[in-house]
Chains A and B, each alone.
Chain A
Amino acid sequence: MTELVATVLSLGFAAQVLRIAVPYALAAMGGAITERSGVIDLALEAKLLFGAFTAAAVGHATGSAVLGIAGGVAAGMIVAAIQVGCALGLGADQVIVGIALNGVALGGTRFLLQLLFGEGANSPPCPAYGGAVLTNPIVWIAAVATAALPYAVRRTRWGVRLRAAGDRPDALVAVGVSPVRARLAAALVGGALAGAGGAQLSLAVGGFTADMSSGRGYIALAMVILSGWRPAWAVVACLVVALAEALGIAFQVSGVPIAHELVALLPYVATLAVLVIAGGNRRSPPRSLGQI
């Protein structure tokens, strides 16, 4: 037990919490701005998965982790473009588009694994950042995004237009700006962030595993809602989730007699608990969320 306490208080544990938090936080920030622009972002899971796969595949092919990150970012943006195309271009139901894309990502990454590497579950190894924090560019991307995103939303043309698109798209139409373009611009940045989060999943362990996002996109979206669609607060919420997850791992490693299957459920239970507790007094969503 003392061993466990020592682990939890160590610098290494803090680093681990950060590493675990990065995919959640990047996905949540991406989700926050996508939703602020009025597009329901249930496709975070797909962006994470395709981001993770592409990062691993590019990393494996080029031997460069940085190119892997670029690949992950690009994959996230492509998913976002397809999402916006289906939802705003074709007028498809946004919730269904998100869920369908997650299904496509689950099957699609496995198909690509099979096609490219002849394997159903794992990619060949790619460069890994492992336990590194300060030398991992994705951690820095997350840190910079956390600091800069709220400012960008408030103080840039991109930000003011995405807020207008999520609130009163007809106000944008009235000044001759296409709300669809404003939303696409928001969703592409959101996709890039979530894609980078996916890259962290595979590049941290040096390879892609089928379904390795395992619901993180949904948890990230829950944090977006809890944070009232404010990116910086969403990051804080994600840090709490990461803390729960890291604690679970610490428990498991320490050999404290607690069922590891149940400890692994901590992030989900925590999310659910917060949703229930915070239920009544939540901020309202962007006014035009989900509308065309």
Chain B
Amino acid sequence: MTAPEPAAGTRMPETGREAAAAASASGMMIDAELDKAYPGCVVLRGARLAVRRGTVHALVGENGAGKSTLVKIVAGILRGDAGALQIAGAPVELASWDRRAARAAGVGIVQQHGASAGTLSVVENAVLGVEPLRGPLLQLGPTAAALIELGRRIGLPVDPGAEAERLPLGAAQRAEIVAALHQGARLLILDEPTAVLTPVEVDGLLATLRRLAAEGTTVVLVTHKLDEVRAVADEVTVLRTGRTVTTFTASGEGAEGLRRDARLDVAAIARAMVGTDLPPPPPPAAPAAGARAVLELAGVRVGDELDPTDLRVRAGEIVGVAGVDGNGQRELALAIAGLVEVSAGAIRIGGHPATDAAPAARLARGLAHIPEDRQHGGLWLDASVADNLALGRADLTGGFRIDRGRVRAHAATQIAELDIRPTDPATVVRALSGGNQQKVVIGRELSRPELVCVLAAQPTRGVDLGAVVRIHDRLRGAAAAGAGVLVISADLDELLALCHRIVVMLRGRIVGEREGAALRDTGARNALGALMTGVEAT
């Protein structure tokens, strides 16, 4: 990715009005120290976020670090359990701080997946709650004109009459940003805004954020992409497992205790995110040359989402599918599992034609499917761990009358092997943590007899580190035992640690591939990252 502005360290002067306001108040737009816990899982423990007015502040951290939770509390979407929060110098009562209050205080937020009502038009969404009326009727004209004008001024063109759900994701996001500013947001929080954007759109957005900051709007950018951070951020707060690790500042000014770092050293930020410099994972043993293909896709197309795709996974091989979410990986997985109709092409599993086979038939052929969403697909949440470990496994349950003894014995084995907690096989799966829920899926799928091919979609998403290690071990074990493994993941580091070969998907197509030694050299990560974001393709 190319940075629109080379040195983000220099800040433009604040405009008159904002400068005056900043002078009268403390100069801090957000000053927060927050706790948040859900039953059985602490998300934030004294997470600190201090954002100065008129800056672009990046909030970074790995998946599950608590970034979204933190900004959602600031924006009044979630309620903080304890701590302190000041917005523009004014202390906030956490117990009564809701979205309405936050909005009134000038806090705008654009969430990861949007918060617009899809069947309402852009302008209807923008006026919701404060509808201007003429008599009994809505008066949308002036607002629509204002949105167009504002959008033009800040470089984010919008179509106020368009139905929100019919807009492309980038346009819908622009509309939300413009609407938030129209509603008087002085603080604009963007939660992973670039995940749904094309590289050109990303550059445009980042340039707009700089411009907004120059005009006095404070911007908080939640992201885990460090090139974006380097491109736009004045300051960076790093969050890890619910705690603020450190805050970097580019300008040398700012609150006490900040780490001064004039260049925003990306490597230092990365180290802070991960904790330590992890040793590179041991390279997996190479599969035997000439091993037979256990999964073959020839020209498989799924609607407009997946263009004709060829892919082969050999026995003993671990193949990774990298890519930003929403680039056809989901359809690829569903096509292999038989859960979506294939528009064209052929699929073979274990050498047998499987294009038209029902999901059950594919599983019987030795396919194991770890779906991307364990709560909607992987698990029967209201049944016990033991039942979930045997779900659909006729080899364990028996064809008709359930063999409870075998189900229980199987559960005991898997619970011990994967360290599933709590250890009681009768526990309802809904009560388990995300990591333990995922272990149940892994335990069921990878213990299939005569495993031929493993399809693992986002196998460690939202899972704690201990579980990640065990899940990776099991996937390596399956490959070592002779199965072909296809891992789909948005986490490139996970794939680099696991795979013999990595293909990259972008806009429904495989756009590149790296194998063997090419994955081990230091430039592999950057090269694959460039492919994922389409830098090389455009």
A and B: direct contact (Cβ < 8 Å)? yes
Using a CB–CB distance below 8 Å, which chain A residues touch chain B?
155-157, 160-161, 163-164, 167-168, 170-177, 286-287
State how many angstroms separate the Cβ of A280 from the closest Cβ of chain B: 14
Q: Is B120 a contact of A157 with CB atoms below 8 Å? A: no
Tell me whether B131 and A174 are in contact (CB under 8 A): no
Contacts A156-B137, A157-B138; A171 near B131 (Cβ below 8 A): no
Judging by beta carbons under 8 Å apart, are A174 and B77 in contact? Answer: yes
Q: Which of A156, A174, A286 contacts B103 (CB 8 A)?
A: A174
Judge whether A160 and B137 touch: CB under 8 Å.
no
Report the bound CA distance from A161 to B99 in whole Å.
17
B128 touches A161 (CB 8 A): yes
Which bracket fits the contact residues of B?
Answer: 20 to 34
B247 at the interface (CB under 8 A from A): no
Residue numbers in A under 8 Å from B127 (CB-CB): 160
Q: How many A-B residue pairs have CB under 8 A?
A: 62
Within residues 88 to 136 of chain B, which ones have a CB less than 8 A from any CB in chain A?
98-100, 103, 115-120, 124-125, 127-131, 133, 136
Interfacial residues of chain B within 2-46, with CB under 8 A of chain A in the complex: none
Chain B contacts for A171, CB-based, 8 A: 115-117, 120, 125, 128
B52, chain A: closest CB distance, angstroms: 26
- The docked-state distance in angstroms from the alpha carbon of A161 to that of B130 is 11
Where chain A touches its partner, the secondary structure class is helix
Given known contacts A171-B116, A287-B118, A160 and B100 CB-to-CB distance under 8 angstroms = no
Please measure, in the bound complex, the distance between the C-alpha atom of A175 and the C-alpha atom of B185, giving whole angstroms. Answer: 13
**A156: which B residues are within 8 A, CB to CB?**
136-138
* Measured CA separation A225–B125 after assembly (Å): 25
- Apart from A160-B120, A160-B131: 5 A-B pairs, beta carbons within 8 A: A160-B138, A167-B120, A168-B116, A171-B117, A175-B128
Closest to A161 in B: B128
Instruction: List, sorted by A's number, 11 A–B pairs whose CB atoms are closer than 8 Å.
Output: A155-B138, A156-B136, A156-B137, A157-B138, A160-B124, A163-B120, A164-B124, A164-B128, A168-B117, A171-B115, A287-B118
- Give B210-238 as 1s and 0s: 1 = Cβ < 8 Å from A's Cβ atoms: 00000000000000000000000000000
Chain B residue at smallest Cβ distance from A159: B138
The chain B residue sitting closest to A170, CB to CB, is B115
Most chain A CB neighbours (cut-off 10 Å) among B98, B100, B129, B137: B129
Q: Is the CB of B117 within 8 A of A174?
A: no
- Alpha-carbon gap, A67 to B128, bound state (A): 37
A171-B125, A172-B129, A173-B99 known; A163-B119 Cβ under 8 A: yes
Separation of A161 and B129 alpha carbons in the complex (Å): 8
Given the interface contacts A160-B128, A174-B77, does A167 sit within 8 Å of B133 by beta carbon?
no
Of chain B, the residue at the smallest CB distance from A152 is B136
From B128, which residue of chain A is reached at the shortest CB distance? A175
- What's the Cα separation between A182 and B99 when bound, in Å? 17
- With A156-B136, A156-B138, A157-B131 as known contacts, state yes or no: A174 contacts B120, CB within 8 Å: no
Docked CA distance A155–B99 (Å): 26
